[in-house]
Amino acid sequence: MMQRVSVLIIEDEKSICDFISKILGTNDYKVTSAPTGKEGLEVLTSLMPDLILLDLGLPDMDGLEIIRSTRKWSSIPIIVISARTQEKEKVLALDAGADDYITKPFGTEELLARIRTAIRHSNMIEADQVNSFRPYSAKGLVVDFEKRKVTVDGNEIHLTRVEYKIVSLLAKHSGKVITYSSLIDEVWGPYADDNNRILRVNMANIRRKLEKNPGEPEYIFTELGIGYRMIEDESI
């Protein structure tokens, strides 16, 4: 018998917590909830759930504190569920270490899909070294990390070193939004200019090479004001 995926909900609004708990319980998730940040951290360290659903506006602390505190010792997936809709708030949460961000109100299917993606990504990180080099594949796009080779419909795409690094980073985290600042840090280093222009120029070149119609991308999507997201790996 497979062990059920355990989810910790840190949410002070009882109606929302009950709603999410019911959805997850119906879909065979094991659910634990906490109404405050302090209780949430206590449950987290004692039960070690597989995933956290986190509200930012808690009565005793800002949810960003929980993200930063957790990231000091754990890579457990964290999905923020918040009424804060400003792009700046989303960027802060993602840069602090959240894996995804859902804005209230949200639909049942969207929530379940985001949870599945976060769990899959977490399992990929924990996989052995052989599996970690398994090629990414979606809609004819293949990124072979061992050979450092990118193909579309079997045709090799010639990317510059920087372009390949951007594509491979997005492919390894497919389905997840990677913020502009995270990409810049990873590709150009922490001391790079935080102006997004160099990233936008490289992305425009990448899309011209990968996409049939760069204006309507199939593979790499822009999350306005936040970052980029690669279409989810179909081979998982």
- Residue-by-residue DSSP string for 29-54: -EEEEESSHHHHHHHHHHH--SEEEE
pLDDT for the residue 25: 94
Each residue's pLDDT tens digit, 154-182: 999 999 888 998 999 999 889 888 999 88
Long-range contacts of 162-167, Cβ-Cβ distance < 8 Å, separation of 24 or more: 162/187, 162/202, 163/202, 163/205, 163/206, 163/209, 166/199, 166/202, 166/203, 166/206, 167/143, 167/206, 167/210, 167/220, 167/230
pLDDT at 209 over 60: yes
User: Which residues 6+ apart lie within 8 Å of 232 measured at CB?
Assistant: 117, 138, 174, 175
Query: Mean per-residue pLDDT for 27-52?
Result: 91
Write out pLDDT tens, residues 130-145.
445 689 999 999 999 8
Tell which phi-psi region holds residue 132, choosing left (phi > 0), alpha (psi between -120 and 50) or beta.
Answer: alpha
**Mean pLDDT for all residues in the chain:** 87
More confident residue, 59 or 121: 59
Say what the pLDDT of residue 191 is: 54
Residues sharing a CB contact under 8 Å with residue 102, sequence separation 6 or more, in sequence order: 79, 80, 81, 82, 110, 111, 114
Indicate whether 198 pLDDT > 60.
yes
How would you class 217 by CB atoms within 10 Å of its CB: exposed for 0-12, middle for 13-18, buried for 19 or more? middle
pLDDT given for residue 193 in this prediction: 65
Q: What's the pLDDT score for residue 128?
A: 42
- Looking at residues 19-25, what average pLDDT do you find? 95
Average pLDDT (178-199) is 78
Question: In this predicted model, what pLDDT tens digit does every residue of 81-125 receive, in sequence order?
Answer: 988 778 888 889 998 889 899 988 888 999 999 998 888 777 655
Reported pTM: 0.63
CA distance 180 to 49: 29
112 contacts 120 by C-beta, under 8 angstroms: no
What DSSP state is assigned to residue 11? -
Q: Tell me whether residue 14 is exposed, middle or buried, using C-beta atoms within 10 angstroms of its C-beta: 0 to 12, 13 to 18, 19 or more.
A: exposed
CA distance 6 to 24: 10
Task: Give residue 210's pLDDT band: very low, low, confident or very high (50, 70, 90).
Answer: very high
Percentage with pLDDT > 70 across the chain: 91
Q: Where are the alpha helices (DSSP H) in the chain?
A: 14-26, 37-47, 63-71, 87-96, 108-126, 129-132, 161-172, 180-188, 197-210
pLDDT at residue 131, as a whole number:
46
